[in-house]
Structure 1
Amino acid sequence: MALAVTHLWRHPIKGHGVEGLGAVTLAAGATLPWDRVWAIADARARIAPGATEWAPCVNFSRGAKSPRLMAIRASVDEAAGRVTLTHPAREPLTVDPDDAGDAARLIAWVTPLTSPERPAPAFVARARVGMTDSDFPSIALLNQASLAALSDRLGQPLAMERFRGNIWLEGLAPFAEFELVGQTLRIGGATLRVREVITRCKATTANPETGLVDADTLRGLRAGWGHQDFGVYAEVVTGGRVAVGDAAALA
């Protein structure tokens, strides 16, 4: 099985921006560096300000509730611990989400992008191990062939940013990533164990350029393949460098 890495992405603030990378160094038992470091709890969250434990996504503002959030782009200054966010309807914002004043500015910036019928953004949470959608520090592995197949099914090109993956691979048949569950992959200099399939939500229906809902991805998955799954979650077993263009194979 000859596989290769085509793209790398991270999402510094859960549900609030995506950033493309050329290379990254993974660590055992950790998320991709600077991925889902922060999350924005909404007014109905069942977590308290200052909590650092993992919590389910229902506690947070995200694209499934407010599709306009999907058009946010992010860029991390790793040395300064600051994140710059852009959106077609907002002026750029640069903040340190750990700073109380900057956190308040962040909440004010995202509030107009939040659907009015949804709970308002309330406070910024920082997870000890990354606020992924899985209850373990995960890396989302996605398949370029699955994206092409779903795009064909819907009759429109779908941007990969809709699916908020970390590592995109080519060389698999459509949806063959599901067969990797329970397997160990060597990707670049790292080793990952694939643990579970990712079931998708309404966030994927929003265009990541505009924030407008324009593709019924969930109906397309159900009609074409009888499920709402797309991609798999893996955990890093052995750390190492991973770059676009690296080979991947069963370990």
Structure 2
Amino acid sequence: MPRVVALYRYPVKGFTPEACEVLDVLAQGRIAGDRVLGIRFANSGVIDDAWSTKHEFIALVNTPGIARLHLRFNHQTLRLGISFEDTVLVDEPLDDNGRKRIAAAIENYVLQLDENPLSFHPDRLPLRVVGNGIMSRYQDNEAGQITLHSRESLAAVAGAVGDADLSELRFRSNIAIEGLEPWEEQSWVKRKIRIGQVIFDVVTPKSRCLATQANPNSGERDLPILKTLLSTFNQKKPTFAIGMVTSGAGGQIHIGDKVCLLD
């Protein structure tokens, strides 16, 4: 029977994950503490903390070099620390001044990268830190979805691109499982599954973007993930992992929980 082998949440949209032993699944189909902040362009035209697409933010899709940053977010004190290698770039609370210093530190780092969305778009500055640090709201889908992939599907992609050590962090899922045939989770779309005691509706296969081509360690675009998904696996859209929402109440899921197909 398939089981959960890794759990992740991403406090700041587009930035590095937190590996977790337990995730709290909210009744509305999101993970507590996941995508509670974002670094948004000044010219996005989006009011306050409202949802917007990834293209309005500093994110891996437009700034692969942010993969080299390490984030530490304290969910209790609402304090965000960002470091590069052994250097702390910023460590601030989410008050007005702290947000400005966080945004300025990210701006300074991004402008030094060869590939960045700011150098030729001064209208995107100054960057803004959005989100209250509590409400999960900046998933790629406005309704919010929890994402899952199997390590067997990951191994299939790894073999196709010739990288046995392909990191699942490229795909930014919340849940990784083992115990399936490659791509078997794709057959769960429109069906229900239970993980531990939480029941999910599997609503969609997850289309992928350029973020998957950014190496999580080097911040370089190094592998043709999108082309490989299309050509090797005969996909109409580059697809990896599935998107889910809760069916009824939320609850906790843990590493080691069984994954059961219900219908």
Flag whether TM exceeds 0.5 (same fold): yes
Match of 1:139 in 2: 146
- Aligned partners of 1:133, 1:94: CA distance in 2, in Å? 26
Q: 1:210 and 2:206 equivalent?
A: no
Match of 1:171 in 2: 179
For residue 68 of structure 1, report the CA deviation from its aligned partner: 0.5
Match of 2:128 in 1: 123
Give aligned pairs, total.
247
Q: 1:99 and 2:95 equivalent?
A: yes
Match of 2:242 in 1: 232
For residue 243 of structure 1, report the CA deviation from its aligned partner: 0.9
- Aligned partners of 2:21, 2:146: CA distance in 1, in Å? 16
Of 173, 193, 207 in structure 2, the residue corresponding to residue 185 of structure 1 is: 193
Give the share of equivalent positions with the same residue, in percent.
26
Which structure is higher in strand share?
1
Superposition RMSD in Å: 1.9
Provide structure 2 residue ranges, at least 5 long, that are not aligned to the other structure: none
Letter matched to residue 242 of structure 2: V
Match of 1:42 in 2: 41
Match of 2:168 in 1: 160
For residue 23 of structure 1, report the CA deviation from its aligned partner: 0.9
Larger Rg over CA atoms: 2
Letter matched to residue 73 of structure 1: H
Letter matched to residue 236 of structure 1: T
Instruction: Determine helix, strand or coil for the equivalent of 2:218.
Output: coil
Rate the CA distance shift 1:163–1:89 in 2: closer, same or farther, 3 A. Answer: farther
Instruction: Determine helix, strand or coil for the equivalent of 1:58.
Output: helix
TM-score by length of 2: 0.87
Q: 1:109 and 2:108 equivalent?
A: no
- Aligned partners of 1:214, 1:242: CA distance in 2, in Å? 33
- Aligned partners of 2:152, 2:120: CA distance in 1, in Å? 36
Rate the CA distance shift 1:205–1:120 in 2: closer, same or farther, 3 A. Answer: farther
Letter matched to residue 127 of structure 2: A
- Aligned partners of 2:125, 2:149: CA distance in 1, in Å? 31
Instruction: Determine helix, strand or coil for the equivalent of 1:218.
Output: helix
Rate the CA distance shift 1:92–1:173 in 2: closer, same or farther, 3 A. Answer: farther
The 5 Å alignment of 1:10-29 reads: 10-29=9-28
* Preserved contact between residue 13 and residue 36 of structure 1 (Cα < 8 Å): yes
* Preserved contact between residue 29 and residue 244 of structure 2 (Cα < 8 Å): no
- Aligned partners of 2:39, 2:89: CA distance in 1, in Å? 18
- Aligned partners of 1:92, 1:122: CA distance in 2, in Å? 16
Letter matched to residue 67 of structure 2: M
Instruction: Determine helix, strand or coil for the equivalent of 2:222.
Output: coil
